[in-house]
Amino acid sequence: MSSFLAYLVSGIALGCTFALVASGFVLIHRVTRVVNFAQGTFAVLGGMATAQLLSHGLPHGLSEAVALVAAAALGLLIGSIAIGRPGTPPLASVIITLGLSIGAYAAEIMLFGDQPLSYTMADGSADFWGAHVQWQRFVIIGVTLVSYAVLAVFFARTYVGKALTACSSNPYAARLSGINPTRMGLLAFAIGGLLGGLAGILITPVQPLSFDSDALLAVNGFAAAIFGGLMRFGTALLGALVLGVSESMVGGYINASYEIEVALALMLGIMVWRAARTPAMAEEAV
């Protein structure tokens, strides 16, 4: 029973990390209709930059803040290249983000090296009904819940959040109302970078990151995001938790090497299910 509880809490924490990555996918796709395959790069930058800054003597808090700003700036830069030119087709923008994520490998190796980096944030562990669970995993869960609450308030109560929602619902009407969809898209990329960077900062103390860790994070984040059709934050969180717990259980009871197969199988199943429903939904709309 103690092992089950340990795997469960670890899976929830892992799912929360996926949820932060997924929220970046959802936000950017909602506003721009672009799937940003560089989302995992933001997480790698956030985690590895924090580790590097801490190793140079910067304190906690400042290191994480600088890493978050760097991730947001990278998001803005990638957004400027991908959608900054008016009239760029969404497919071309998707290809651009994929190419930039691959090209980022060289920059990350130059800046941080090719070895995994980690650091200590919340040290120690808690006795959770007989299971020893790292405090860092509770930090991940708590920060993720707060982040989703902030996102909910941001979109419901602020003018900028409502402008982003307007661009998601009807870009043409938003433009007529004086909202610039391109600027909102760039802001979405910056916030997506911030969310991805936060995921990397939180996961690095329990799972060291290297320059190529973005693929695993992006696959899991994308699998969680498509749970809600790349449009809903709540269902992305639910999908991420299901995915994280499933991977943790498979890794704990079977073999950790099968964890990525769980994500791929879940993603494929959801995509097939949604594709099967699309004709029926289209007929209902007619």
Asked if the model's pLDDT at residue 280 lies above 70, the reply is no
Look at residues 225, 180, 176 and name the one whose alpha carbon lies nearest to residue 34. 225
The confidence band for 286, taking pLDDT boundaries of 50, 70 and 90, is: very low
Instruction: Give the C-alpha separation, 240 to 35, whole Å.
Output: 17
Asked if the model's pLDDT at residue 42 lies above 90, the reply is yes
The confidence band for 256, taking pLDDT boundaries of 50, 70 and 90, is: low
245's tokens: 């717990």
Paired strand residues for 125: 134
* Contacting residues for 18 by C-beta, under 8 A, at least 6 apart: 199, 217, 220, 221, 223, 224, 240, 243, 244
Paired strand residues for 102: none
Element spanning 184, H or E = helix 181-203
Element spanning 126, H or E = strand 125-128
The confidence band for 274, taking pLDDT boundaries of 50, 70 and 90, is: low
Q: Is 196 within 8 Å of 36 (Cβ atoms)?
A: no
Residue 172 vs residues 29, 75, 121, 159, 236: alpha-carbon distances, Å:
16, 24, 45, 18, 27
Asked if the model's pLDDT at residue 284 lies above 70, the reply is no
Element spanning 54, H or E = helix 39-55
